[in-house]
Chain A
């Protein structure tokens, strides 16, 4: 089945220690998104890639970076995690080649900062 995969599902990092979360997709979608979600609140969009074009949300801290080396993979880098960055990080994809452009989400990575 075509899907969105996130690894790892659980990540523990130390305060200030860089961490990378990964996302891959077999849907061949041209748009990939990263969201941060805390305590069953609505997901908060951090940034997205439209093909290779990076689009940052205005209120996303500089501490968060992203890379998309090819269509299938996208990475979220947190350069110096703080305690406030502990959250669920969700990757999503969509295709803007037709339809309602619904987004398909991965299972998420739960990040703990110690």
Chain B
């Protein structure tokens, strides 16, 4: 079945550091891929998405590229801010529809 694996957290960075959160997936066909962010005490917010191979999703300085050859969708940001501290979830939705499959989440803490 479909699955998503994220790097374990917590990830602690200094402000302005480069961020990478790894995400790999297992799925048949061509799933859609998503990154969601959850700030403390809040619901999940869609951060970015990609629907086909080599698509790059981007938003708020974050970006991720759909790599079918490596079944990956790693999240990157060139310069993190304290306000980026949150839990980040990678997710997929199969091309035949169906529910979202989430990774376990990666907590990011950015220190000033």
B75: Cβ under 8 A from any A Cβ: no
Question: Interface residues of A toward B: which range?
Answer: 20 to 34
B80 neighbours in A (Cβ, 8 Å)? none
User: Would A43 and B102 count as touching, CB distance under 8 A?
Assistant: yes
A96: Cβ under 8 A from any B Cβ: yes
Please judge, given known A-B contacts A96-B97, A101-B97, whether A110 and B34 are in contact too, CB under 8 Å: no
User: Would B41 and A40 count as touching, CB distance under 8 A?
Assistant: no
Of all chain A residues, the one with the shortest Cβ separation from B6 is: A42
Q: How many residues of B contact A (CB 8 A)?
A: 23
> B-facing mask of A83-114, CB < 8 A → 1, else 0?
00000001010001001111111111010000
Least CB distance from A33 to B in Å reads: 8
B34 neighbours in A (Cβ, 8 Å)? 100, 102
CA distance A48 to B89 in the complex (A): 20
Binding site for A on B (CB under 8 A): 32, 34, 36, 38, 41-46, 49, 51, 87, 89, 93, 97, 99-100, 102-105, 107
A-B contact pairs, 6 of them (CB 8 A): A41-B104, A45-B100, A96-B97, A100-B34, A101-B97, A105-B36
